[in-house]
Amino acid sequence: MKPPTHYYWQATKDTVAAFIKARVWFDCTPSLEPGLTISADFFGINIAPSRDPQVDDYIISRLKELGLRHVRMNFSYESLEGDAERLLKKILQADFQVMLDILPPKEDAAILDNDVAAQQRWRDFVNAVVSRYGDQLAYIEIGTTPNRGQWSGFEPQSYLAVWQIAYQAVMAADKNISLAGPNVSDFEPIINISLLAAIQRQGMAPVVHTDNLFVERVIEPEAYDHRVFGRLLEPLFKLNLVKKARIFAAISHRYGAMQTMCTYTCWTSKRLSRWTVFPEQKKVDYLVRYLVTVAVSGALERVYWGPLICSRDGLIDDSAEGYPEIDNVSFYKAVRGEYDALQPEPAFYALKQLIETLQGARCVQAVNADNGLNHFIFDTADKQQLHIAWMQDRLILPLSTLYLDKQLAGAQIFTAQGIRQDAIMSITEHPIFIVFDQNQSALLTAAQMKAWDIAPKGAIFTSVEGIDFLPWAEGDWQGTVAVKAGEDPAEKAAAMLPASLLSLPQLGVHRDQRNKVWSVNNPLDPNEILVVKQNRATGVKKFTYRFRSSKGQRHWNNASEMIRRGVNSPMPIAYFERIKASGVRHNYYVCEWVADAFSARAAFTAFAQGDIAFAGFRREDIYQALAIYICTMHDKGIIHNDLSGGNLLMTKNVEIGIEVTAIDIGRARILQQGKQLSQKQRLTDLARACYKLDWPNRRLFMQSYFDAYGKLFAAGWEKPLDNYDKKQVMKRKLKRLIKRNKKS
């Protein structure tokens, strides 16, 4: 092997040449086209052994239930004569097609380019595998995640040494084995190019170019990846899943590989839990959205989904705690949980339905539009027509936009998990499967779908079981309404339009200054109380609000996003705004009333006066409940920006004791997913909440907050609170001065 300096120089030349010749892959379109038939061989999955032989039979049974033929296993030195070899034998006997990923231990992988003894151990292992199983395997994949040395141990030079030794051993065995590699992880085409170019120069090109095509860090399968060239250039390069897969296919073609496969991808519960309180539902959504999209792209011959069994990553939960030291993507070594704990998750059944419906299906329409709409039509193998549709996260399109009622009356609608649905009003981020006995066209053509104006602009939506959120426009007004089970959408919208709201008897007016807030009975349910906030732009805001979304929409969006992230806010019911100049003309937000609540302001005022309990709760319990709620809100990337005690409501909850809810959230700032608040931002947000507390009580409350934060009590925490006190003193003095001047 050449010295590393020579390798990196050559790798640079290879990469520059590939980028120039491919014109940075601008010809690889991110858009989908119809015409492809989905192969029965497209779907695969990764499996691993357990120390318990019962799990072998369980795995085989579940694979058959899924309808899968293709599996992938990691196999290292300790696998021979061990649990992995036992499972491999059973899998081969059950007639599954196996891609066996053979790899050296991490410590050997790191030295294989220059350690003779390590090279011999690797050669002996490859020979043993080829001798025992070479003629039974569909593919042998060489090594794993060479760009993730912290997991695999590989550097480029050591991986090339591993490939060369394995290739020579496999060719010498003369068993017609198809080799696969290099199994780069994520989207790092420079690594793919440099390794494949070096391998090709030696005349050792793989039959299958493999890559672990993750998009998890981009969050959504359809999203353009801003991490490669930055957000400014994101619209230029349009690196979504489709384009990434096509780039890898182009690289395969350039370097002599006949096929391109993704050998591992998934979303983990741990990462999803940072973004949503429903991680298992998002696993379902993203699995279906990823596989449908990449199957129709035609760029990949197969996708092996992430681990079949794993408590964090898998489609079957084994209830094992913690996580392996080496990430599963580099070495899915074992099922760590017990046989009796194995439990399929919703994503398992989503994959099952996807395989059942798409194997052999021909795509006759494919839309993956920048407006967030994804819509596919398939002619299935059983002579039915299947429509699959979803929106990107936080977007909604009424189903009536694409279908007539009489069309849907003759159809069967299923969730991604195969559960029959009788009443669906909207296309949401959760994919739906619509099955017709006869061919049906949507009301919009593919071109019209791509150009469709998803309204209202800028509105986002959460997902709540039993509630449909519908965009609505009527006359001069546009907005959204929440339609509960049994409610008529048109009737609900009519009741929530401003003309109707203004005519309802007011139960109480809670504020009437710049904005007016009052409560009314829900005209569709007299037992339910609603809160209406009418927003009125005054002064300079009549100008500045022309460049912002309306306050009604901001309230709606903030409430929706807080609920998405698991932070209590009253359920949004509706918002409406003027179609023109929405920010500066009256606009409205409606939400549920928080019944039987008391405010943090009232409790804090009592504590500052010496009380040690309020509303039947000890002071310490109230501090702890508020601290946990606010800290959770901050952990989720939400800055309230108006966190006065009056905007923190508490109610008695039978299960958890005190339940906290934040109101008046129009000023809230919600960071992008994955972004973290600084300690200064946290303290600044807390200053307003602490205003009614004296300093001894502030210390008690702030100690509760830092306990929830999981950090030591911060030095200098008093400064933002003290600054806020001084600011309030100055405001009161200024108001008194203005008042005296007016009188004089």
Mean predicted confidence (pLDDT) in 594-614: 94
Mean predicted confidence (pLDDT) in 628-656: 92
Q: How far apart are CA 549 and CA 557, in angstroms?
A: 10
Cβ-proximal residues to 414 (8 Å cutoff; 6+ apart), any chain: 353, 420, 421, 432, 433, 434, 435
Are 336 and 317 within 8 A, CB to CB?
no
Are 648 and 662 within 8 A, CB to CB?
yes
pLDDT > 70 in the chain, percent? 97
Nearest to 362 by CA among 378, 384, 386, 382: 378
Mean confidence (pLDDT) of the chain? 92
**Which tens digit of pLDDT belongs to each residue from 327-373?**
999 999 999 999 999 999 999 999 999 999 999 999 999 999 999 99
- Tokens encoding 320: 């094992």
Mean predicted confidence (pLDDT) in 556-567: 95
The predicted pLDDT at position 537 comes to 65
Query: Among the listed ranges 135-144, 659-668, 688-697, 708-717, which one has the minimum average pLDDT value?
Result: 708-717
**β strands within 167-326, DSSP E:** 179-185, 208-212, 259-262, 302-307, 316-317
**β strands within 371-489, DSSP E:** 373-379, 385-391, 397-398, 412-415, 420-421, 426-427, 432-436, 467-474, 477-484
pTM: 0.93
The predicted pLDDT at position 586 comes to 78
Handedness of CA 84, 86, 90, 92 (dihedral sign): positive
Q: pLDDT confidence of 322, banded at 50, 70, 90?
A: confident
DSSP 481-545: EEEETT--HHHHHHHHSHHHHHHSPPSEEEEESSSEEEEEEETTEEEEEEEEEEE---TTHHHHG
H/E stretch holding 741 reads: helix 718-743
- Tokens encoding 607: 């504590």
Mean predicted confidence (pLDDT) in 504-509: 92
Q: pLDDT confidence of 744, banded at 50, 70, 90?
A: low
Name the one residue in this structure whose structure tokens are 């010809």: 27
Would strands 587-592 and 525-535 be described as parallel, antiparallel, or unpaired?
Answer: antiparallel
362-451 is classed in which CATH architecture?
A: Sandwich (2.60)
The predicted pLDDT at position 512 comes to 81
Are 615 and 603 within 8 A, CB to CB?
yes
Q: Residue 620: pLDDT above 80?
A: yes
Distinct helix (H) and strand (E) counts, the chain: 24, 32
Domain chopping of the chain, boundaries: 4-337, 362-451, 467-592, 598-735
Q: Residue 461: pLDDT above 90?
A: yes
The predicted pLDDT at position 83 comes to 97
- CA distances to 393, 538, 564 from 466, in Å: 18, 38, 15
DSSP 83-149: HHHHHHHHHHHTT-EEEEEE---HHHHTTTTT-HHHHHHHHHHHHHHHHHHTTT-SEEEE-S-TT-H
**Biggest CA-to-CA distance, the chain:** 104
AA identity, residue 347: A
Cβ-proximal residues to 336 (8 Å cutoff; 6+ apart), any chain: 50, 310, 311, 318, 320, 324
Residue 71 phi/psi, 5-degree rounding, is -130, 160
Are 365 and 437 within 8 A, CB to CB?
no
Q: How far apart are CA 169 and CA 458, in angstroms?
A: 59
Q: pLDDT confidence of 540, banded at 50, 70, 90?
A: low
Are 518 and 510 within 8 A, CB to CB?
yes
Name the one residue in this structure whose structure tokens are 């779907």: 43
Query: Among the listed ranges 149-158, 319-328, 594-603, 734-743, which one has the minimum average pLDDT value?
Result: 734-743
Query: Among the listed ranges 163-167, 236-240, 397-401, 710-714, which one has the minimum average pLDDT value?
Result: 710-714
4-337 is classed in which CATH architecture?
A: Alpha-Beta Barrel (3.20)
Q: pLDDT confidence of 3, banded at 50, 70, 90?
A: very low
Gap between the terminal Cα atoms of the chain: 92
AA identity, residue 90: K
Would strands 139-142 and 97-102 be described as parallel, antiparallel, or unpaired?
Answer: parallel
The predicted pLDDT at position 174 comes to 84
The predicted pLDDT at position 476 comes to 87
Pick the CATH number of 598-735 from 1.20.1260, 1.10.760, 1.10.510, 1.25.40: 1.10.510
Q: How far apart are CA 30 and CA 239, in angstroms?
A: 7
List the beta bridge partners of residue 412.
435
Q: Residue 2: pLDDT above 60?
A: no
